[in-house]
Amino acid sequence: MATPASGRQLFLDGLRGLALIFMVLNHTGRWWIERPLGWPRYHLVYLTVTLAAPIFLFLVGFCLPLSYLNSTLTRGERYVSVAWKYVRRGARLVVAGWFLNLLVFPDEPLFAGGVLQTIGLSIVGLTLLLPLLRRRAAGWALLAAALGVYASFALAHPFLRRWLTRHPVVAAVWFSDFPLWPWLAVALLGVVLGWVWAEGQRRGDDDRRYFGMMSLAGVLCLAAFLALELAVGPTPHFYSGRDLVLNQHWNPGPVTCLWILGIVFSLLPAMYDLMKVRRVQVPWLVVLGQNALMLYFVHQVIVLTFLRQRFGVLFHSWWAYVLANALLIAALVVLAQVWPPFKRRALALVRGSVQRRTSAAERRQEAL
């Protein structure tokens, strides 16, 4: 089944919506559950942190070639204009990350890094690399670079743990939540695989073969992860003590990377099969994915600032926690549905106000 890789790919929005749900569960698990609930709470937080942001970062890379080829080849736009648009988008995400710190985490440094900053900087960096991907060798080089980015971080980890204690500003800005080094590796992997798929679509290749190969890779990664995880011994499984924790923030160890890749390479083909091949409609999941940035802000304000800090919401029962999350996600779906028309009307009002002021200023100048 070959379909042009242009326009909105709803199965990618569906996967992005699923990643948003993982992120909501991660944050409510951290902020809404009492620690005495024990290992189930720990595993909820740990498993969702290994899924949410990695899927977002992978999709950043995977979707960029689709948009880029559609803009340059289908619509005939110049690389400079397309690149400037992507760079501005990346810069806005960096600024949005700082605004989130100010809004939700006022006790932390304003310019502390986070996943939004890493996504924004990844978009800027990948934009510069996109023209190179027309050469097949460049794809292999970027895959090697992705491996090198992660491997260099793993090797430098013991040194960084000591060095960052003496450089708190660098630690806060560059090595906080999901730092660019090593997480750029995930975006690099995504951009190469996204380019391969988009090129195949334009040649008319059967994309079911592509996603079948990705599913096989996912199964192999999960099998390797399971074998290595069981070989670790009596240490609790799914435990961050075996990962590369730095500056009190989590980064995956090599074994955990197999888990992340296995899940990503399994979920993406599964979502493609569900929504593209079987044509199952999941509009509520799609609308979450299409408005993920706005919901990323709003759910943290609701979960932490409003409910946890203002009203002291804290659950001692799993049943109450599950019900509260179901209601929260339903509310986010409703918000995502009403947000686009509200945004359009607000922008139209702002533009109209600006135009009226401009016209008034011009009439005053003419009168003078």
Mean pLDDT of 250-254: 95
**Among 64-68, 311-315, 342-346, 347-351, the least confident range:** 347-351
**Once rounded to an integer, what is the mean pLDDT over residues 127-155?**
95
Q: What pLDDT, on the 0 to 100 scale, is given for residue 241?
A: 83
Could you tell me which residues come within 8 angstroms of residue 276 by beta carbon, excluding any fewer than 6 positions away? 1, 3, 10, 11
Specify the pLDDT at position 36. Answer: 66
Asked if 31 and 312 touch (Cβ cutoff 8 Å), the reply is no
Summarize the confidence of residues 52-65 as an average pLDDT. Answer: 96
The ranges assigned to domains in the chain are 10-316
pLDDT, tens only, 178-200: 999 999 999 999 999 999 999 99
Average pLDDT rounded to a whole number, residues 59-73: 94
Alpha-carbon Rg for the chain in angstroms: 22
- In the predicted model, is pLDDT for residue 297 greater than 90? yes
pLDDT over 90 percentage in the chain:
76
Q: What is the mean pLDDT of residues 108-124?
A: 93
Asked if residues 109 and 173 have their Cβ atoms less than 8 Å apart, the reply is yes
Tokens 């609701």 -> residue: 302
- Burial (Cβ within 10 Å: 0-12, 13-18, ≥19) of residue 217: middle
Give the C-alpha separation, 280 to 366, whole Å. Answer: 60
Query: Which residue in the block uniquely carries the two structure tokens 């806005």?
Result: 92
| Residue 345: pLDDT band with limits 50, 70, 90 | confident
Place of tokens 């549905």: 337
Task: Reply yes or no on whether the pLDDT at 52 is more than 70.
Answer: yes
**DSSP assignment, residue 33?**
B
What was the pLDDT predicted at 7? 57
Q: What is the mean pLDDT of the chain?
A: 91
| Residues 325, 322: Cα–Cα separation, whole Å | 5
